[in-house]
A = this chain, B = another copy of it.
């Protein structure tokens, strides 16, 4: 295991992926205002957890994380498009995201919808543009297939619809998990599988990493729900207790706060178990798992 700190790893690859995102949009021949709207949300900050997972998985295989740069950028575009559309007046109607006005507040609703559409479309284009000598055609196709499945009706978009349908209803734990597995889990899982594809993982390695992905995806969401109760407004970027105020079904609401914390610990432990089983150099992935357990925002 090579002793790289998560901090220096994060700093290096966050910079790289942010540069790639800027480059990809700047290279487009398109109306200036559309490019501006796309960049506005891409550059609004965030932890870039999905790109980091791509890079960390490739690192775990002892390969050069930079091989996953386009895959990482494509995933971040899809994540960003989903935030722009989720914030729209007809959806969550949010005025702020990470302390900044949301896309439609700055550019208007029509341009925000189109900026989201353009980012989603560009993500697939980016994957087709990867040079053949760096990633072969069949792996590129696997990346596009995985991203389109994770992002679409059987994944993220389906989860968002289920989430809207569940508003102001008391959900079962099963229904709540369906929403989270699809709305946020599948794109997180895909980030890990994309790294594995780029690194040339075997089917067995991908299976172990899928388990890891499943558990950190749910851990991520449970921690989010707990933070809504225990965090500060500064930490989470929105008023504390807004889920309760909005009568949202959450893990603490269903399991109690102590029960939710137990579930979090159990998913983190299972995630770490999967990593240990993988036989890979999982130093960075292990630290990311710890970070998800402790994250403040």
Contacts and interface: CB of A to CB of B under 8 A. Distances in A.
User: Copy number in this complex?
Assistant: 2
B158 A30 contact: yes
B161 A111 contact: yes
A127 B144 CA distance: 9
Interface string A136-158: 01101110110011011110011
Contact of A141 (B137, B154, B160): B137
Contacts of A141: 128, 137, 140-141
A125 B149 contact: yes
B30 A118 contact: no
Contacts of A30: 153-154, 157-158, 161
A268 B153 CA distance: 40
B160 A114 contact: yes
Contacts of A144: 124, 127-128, 144
Interface in A237-263: none
A165 B34 CA distance: 11
A33 B114 contact: no
A91 B117 contact: no
Given A120-B121, A125-B145, A148-B128, A153 B113 contact: no
Contacts of A88: 110, 113
A148 B160 contact: no
Chain A at the B interface: mostly helix, strand, loop or mixed? Answer: helix
Interface string A75-110: 000000000010010110000000000000000111
A133 interface: no
Contact of A165 (B33, B85, B122, B145): B33
A269 interface: no
Interface in A155-185: 157-158, 160-162, 164-165
A38 interface: yes
A118 B31 contact: no
A157 B230 CA distance: 42
Given A30-B153, A120-B121, A128-B142, 18 more contacts: A28-B153, A30-B157, A33-B161, A34-B153, A34-B157, A88-B113, A90-B110, A113-B113, A114-B157, A116-B117, A117-B157, A121-B151, A122-B148, A122-B153, A125-B148, A128-B148, A137-B137, A144-B144
Q: When A and B form their complex, which 8 residue pairs have the shortest distance between CB atoms, in order from nearest?
A: A121-B152, A90-B109, A125-B148, A128-B145, A30-B153, A137-B137, A118-B153, A30-B158
Interface of A: 25, 28-31, 33-35, 38, 85, 88, 90-91, 108-111, 113-114, 116-118, 120-122, 124-125, 127-129, 137-138, 140-142, 144-145, 148-149, 151-154, 157-158, 160-162, 164-165
